[in-house]
Amino acid sequence: MVLSILLLLLIAAGIALFLWLTSPDPNRDGMLPDANARVGSLSGDFEDLDKIVDEGMLTFSINVTPSFPDGASPGNLMIENAEINNNRFTCAIYRKDNGEKIYQSGYLDPGQYIESAPLEADLEPGEYPCTAYFETYKLSDNAPIGQAAAEITVYVQG
């Protein structure tokens, strides 16, 4: 009986040690909290900061696997500038293998979308890993704001 209890305790200790060693611990991985960090928020006028953040925020949609019947026909890009955005954007798609730009949109204001469009390059049938870059601009004067990107794969059927 005593031997069974000791065996169970030994097994439990082994499991506990295993769980402790395999659990993520920031201090064990060399990551430590910043010694200068304080709890709370900085004092000051946050309205201006909120305005800057809101202006720079971008919510967009794009089909990450657009398909084209052939290299010259429109495909289902499904690019959308969400209504909640405070800026307009353009979208350019570049192939990752050679950097070739294969698509460039005009600008889209908030609440506008492109369901389908042809590519600028007549691609051979295949699968093309690409990056879609979204350049954002102020609605008031088209001044550049920033850029966002999404990894997509373009499929050309035949």
Give the pLDDT of residue 35.
79
Give the pLDDT of residue 40.
72
In percent, the amount of the chain with pLDDT more than 90 equals: 59
Q: Which residues of 103-133 are buried (b: 16+ CB within 10 A; e: fewer)?
A: bebebbebeeebeebebebebeeeebebebb
pLDDT digits 0-9 by tens, 15-37: 877 766 666 655 555 677 777 77
pLDDT at residue 154 above 80? yes
Under 8 Å between Cβ of 103 and 114: no
Query: What count of Cα atoms within 13 Å lies in the side-chain half-sphere of residue 71?
Result: 10
Give the pLDDT of residue 10.
74
What tokens were used for 132? Answer: 């879609």
Closest CA to 79 of 139, 148, 157: 148
Under 8 Å between Cβ of 107 and 98: no
Give the pLDDT of residue 36.
79
Mean pLDDT score, 96-102: 97
**Model pTM?**
0.68
Domains defined for the chain, CATH in brackets: 53-156 (2.60.40.2550)
pLDDT digits 0-9 by tens, 39-91: 776 666 656 555 555 555 788 999 999 999 999 999 999 999 999 989 999 99
